Amino acid sequence: MPTHTNQRRLRYSICVSGAASGSTVQADADKARELGKAIARSGHIITTGATIGLPYYAAQAASEAGGMSVGFSPAVSLREHLRKYRLPSNCFDFINFTGLHYVGRDLYLVQSSDAVITIGGRFGSLHEFTSALEAHKPSGVLTASGGTADRIPRLMDALEPPDDHLVIFDDSPDRLVKRIVEILDEKFEDIHDLLVRHDQHWYLKPDDLPKFRAG
């Protein structure tokens, strides 16, 4: 695994996907909190659908542990987020008001995250998981959490999905986050190399713009 300076460490956005309601919410509340804490302790950013249930427990725990929490709302504004969708806002450092309703929000959330972790879940979580696979995102599945998470192995056996090597199964929230971060470190090694360079800049400076446009 590459070693990088703390000053230029790349922080990953890790999505926690799970049920907003249903039987897995109460059963997996503690596991969701452990996922949130693990992401915060790892120094990375938790992303969720800015919703209730398991994603909320994870986002709340991450925030309480000192981590950064970003929510992707189906609403177009804070007013709509609170009044129309009746979703929480208290545990997010930033809410992206997508205005895309739930289906569009799910895709935007996945595309904006570096990896997705599924815990419990229902059809919405399955949508986010399959979207992550199609987008070639590392995907963690917390096994023994019921719902979608425990049905994913059978679906993968039956449907032969793309990039199945990017799917990680584990029953430990801490270990699952650690394994996802290891995959991301390998995937983004070239980006890390750019960030730690001191001998040359890799980004455009204002003086470069005329030459860049002319070329």
Domain definitions of the chain by residue range? 11-214
List beta partners, residue 86: none
Q: φ and ψ at 147, to 5 degrees?
A: 55, -140
d(CA 121, CA 102): 15
> In sequence order, what are the beta bridge partners of 18?
119
| Residue 8: band (very low, low, confident or very high) from pLDDT cuts 50, 70, 90 | low
Question: Residue 69, SS3?
Answer: strand
Residue 193 pLDDT grade (very low, low, confident, very high; cuts 50, 70, 90): confident
Percent of the chain with pLDDT over 90: 81
Please give the pLDDT value at position 2.
41
Average pLDDT over residues 69-82: 98
Q: Give the per-residue pLDDT at 31.
A: 98
- Which stretches within the chain are classed as H helix? 23-27, 29-41, 54-64, 78-83, 101-111, 123-134, 147-159, 173-187, 189-195, 209-214
- Write down the pTM of the prediction: 0.90
Q: Minimum mean pLDDT among 77-81, 83-87, 179-183, 200-204: which range?
A: 200-204
**pLDDT given at position 203:** 66
DSSP collapsed to 3 states, 126-160: HHHHHHHHHCCCCEEEECCCCHHHHHHHHHHHHHC
Q: Environment class of residue 27 by beta-carbon count within 10 Å: exposed (0-12), middle (13-18) or buried (19+)?
A: middle
Q: Say if residue 17's pLDDT is above 90.
A: yes
Residue 61 to residue 59: CA distance in whole angstroms: 6
Enter the DSSP assignment of 9: P
pLDDT of 48 > 70? The answer is: yes
Residue 201: predicted pLDDT: 60
Q: What is the pLDDT of residue 39?
A: 98
**What distance in Å separates the CA atoms of residue 126 and residue 161, rounded to the nearest whole number?**
13
Confidence of residue 104 (pLDDT cuts 50, 70, 90): very high
153-190, pLDDT tens digit by residue? 999 999 988 889 999 999 999 999 999 999 999 999 98
b/e burial code for range 72-84 (CB count within 10 A of at least 16 → b): bbbbeeeeebeee
Q: Tell me what pLDDT residue 1 has.
A: 39
Q: What is the rounded CA–CA span in Å between residue 116 and residue 125?
A: 10
Architecture of the CATH domain 11-214? 3-Layer(aba) Sandwich (3.40)
Cα-to-chain-centroid distance, residue 197: 27
